[in-house]
Amino acid sequence: MIVLGLSGSLTHDPSAALFIDGELVAAAEEERFLRDKHAKNRWPYHATRFCLDFAEVKPDKIDYVAFPFAEIGCTHPGRLHFAKRYWYAPDRALNALFNGNRHFRRNRRGILQLMADFGIDAQRSPFVPVEHHLAHAASAYHLSGFAGKCAILGIDGKGEYATTFFGYGENGVIHKIKEFYDPDSLGGVYGALTQYLGFEMLDGEFKVMGMAPYGDPDKYDFSRLWDCDGRNFKVNTDLVNVVGLRRYKDRQRGYYFSSKLIDWLGPKRSGDEIDDPYIDYAAALQKQLEETSLQLVENYLGDILRESGRLCFAGGVALNVKLNQRLLELDCIKELFVQPAASDAGTAIGAAAFVARQHGDKVKKLKHVYLGPAYSNEQCLAALEKHPGKPEWRKIENVPAAGARILAEGHPLAWFQGRMEFGPRALGCRSILGDPSHRGVADRINAQIKYRERWRPFCPSMLDTVAAEILQTDHPAPYMTFAFTVAAEWKAKIPEVVHEDGTARAQIVERETNPRYYALLEELAKLRGIPVVLNTSLNRRGEPMICSPEDALNMFYGCELEYLMLEDFLVTKKPAA
């Protein structure tokens, strides 16, 4: 059976994913092809074309088209809750009651048009909507590979009306225990405070998390943002998750917080520096997110976790690695699987996995996320010969050894190899690398290449043979979805990838899934005794991760990078005249 999953239901992060006989064979985000971060208000045309071309699937061979947004009935508690909680904006409340599926109809029209444009017959290949949070849950549960019963957690901004999902999976079936509904959203509050702290919602939440360790989480009491008794959860919509006239407005832009938040906390932050009191606000927010999440997990999933020891997690908040670290520290959790494309792009995977399982396929465990396009040496050479920068290049016989020598000399290296990653993390195919034992390499990458805030942390990729020693755990970590406390003896060895609080968001690299990257780490270990590289995504600030050789070369000539390993070609800039 062939199932095509498509996302973009909430006007951002459209993507496509293709399952064949229960195996995820291809997936890509539209932003990578358009070079437009989050590809807002777009449908995944380029991503769909890639998936079909890669798998050599003709449109008439597709059995189902799955989509992560469903029709919600008139008496559904989510619609009623929304109307009640947004009473102060009567237009929104009445819309929820009497026209609550307008977004679903827009989505259905858009996907049916995409299907028609690709020649996918909706009669032969039905359009199948899946509830948004059920798609998040399916993306984590079905791809986890967990056998037996396991708990499922989903936390993000919102779907149709739901914002938070608690359930469990057993024998391939997902059971819903509890949902919370808009505006009662942990992800929504974190996004609103992300805006207040001077970053873009959907893009800056990582920055808030990175800022938090610099502050004192107990200096300010943020409990007024929401009430939680461990079972019930209610956001203070006088302050955050606001709509309509309650929104704070500045320069004709409305924000998801109110003027009362400004009255309480002071002016909205601006600029790139980490400064008081904003670092303390970030710390207080992060602490409250963690503590509330743990309370709710204990209440709704505690018994299941003590029985099974396994938790699957997806939704945008699942990318909060500090929360994931706290979850891993719970005695009742033996193994935590965070779906690596946990935000809305990953719902294309979830919807397709759910439909595949519903129609009889057994969904196979996710082995890696190298699911996007790859480019041959011939394609790279064509891009080199056409580029106006007239790059200097030479073909390399031993790419890992040559790359390791550049890193060992203290230089950053752009690393473009194999299939592009799916999800927000660079995992050794579209990466900028550095030797983390060279002090200052992180500042150099920030200042000269990434052009991002200098205080943000970089992450390590490390060989599986030393990971347990460095991270003090043998828990799987192939996707940079967890923070771990770095062993004391290693902090001085790899200072450029240890954050302010002594943790690192690590990727453990295995030879089977990325042999060339693994070989690079082995070569660096021979030269420097350090089987770890600093790894950050191959892009500049505000841009999507690089997709094609042309994209890589354009970035190379738009920053101060000196070395680019483009498949088997080492590319350097011509010296200035």
Task: State the catalytic residues.
Answer: 12
- Say what the pLDDT of residue 272 is: 78
- Say what the pLDDT of residue 449 is: 86
Q: Which residues contact 232 (CB under 8 A, 6 or more apart)?
A: none
pTM beyond 0.95, yes or no:
yes
Dihedral angle over CA of 311, 71, 185, 228, nearest 10: -80
Dihedral angle over CA of 189, 193, 196, 197, nearest 10: -170
Q: What is the pLDDT of residues 428-459, one digit of tens each?
A: 999 999 999 999 999 999 888 887 777 788 99
Token look-up 């919602």 returns 201
Instruction: Please state, in angstroms and rounded to a whole number, the distance separating the CA atoms of residues 87 and 94.
Output: 9
Fold entry, domain 186-337: Nucleotidyltransferase; domain 5 (3.30.420)
The length of the chain, given as a count of residues = 577
Instruction: Please state, in angstroms and rounded to a whole number, the distance separating the CA atoms of residues 552 and 409.
Output: 22
CB atoms within 10 A of CB 490: 22
- Say what the pLDDT of residue 222 is: 98
Handedness of CA 115, 121, 125, 127 (dihedral sign): positive
Instruction: Please state, in angstroms and rounded to a whole number, the distance separating the CA atoms of residues 546 and 555.
Output: 8
Token look-up 């709704």 returns 300
Q: Which amino acid is at 97?
A: L
The domain 377-572 belongs to what CATH superfamily?
Carbamoyltransferase, C-terminal domain (3.90.870.20)
Instruction: Please state, in angstroms and rounded to a whole number, the distance separating the CA atoms of residues 555 and 417.
Output: 16
Which residues share a beta bridge with 414?
Answer: 432, 564
- Say what the pLDDT of residue 575 is: 64
- For residue 415, what are the CA distances in angstroms to 8, 386, 577? 29, 20, 27
Say yes or no: do domains 2-143+341-358 and 186-337 share a fold. yes
The percent helix, strand, coil of the chain (3-state, each to 5) is 40, 20, 40
Q: Taking the domains of the chain in order of start, what are their residue ranges?
A: 2-143+341-358, 186-337, 377-572
Contact (CB, 8 A) for 226 and 235: yes
Transcribe 306-323 into DSSP letters: HHH-EEEEESGGGG-HHH
Reduced to 3 states, what is the DSSP secondary structure of residue 329?
Answer: coil
The domain 2-143+341-358 belongs to what CATH superfamily?
ATPase, nucleotide binding domain (3.30.420.40)
- Say what the pLDDT of residue 577 is: 42
What stretches in the chain show pLDDT beneath 50?
A: 577
87 token code pair: 């009473």
Handedness of CA 213, 217, 219, 224 (dihedral sign): positive
Instruction: Please state, in angstroms and rounded to a whole number, the distance separating the CA atoms of residues 343 and 569.
Output: 34
Instruction: Please state, in angstroms and rounded to a whole number, the distance separating the CA atoms of residues 166 and 300.
Output: 7
327: exposed, middle or buried (C-beta count within 10 Å: 0-12, 13-18, 19+)? buried
Q: Which amino acid is at 531?
A: P
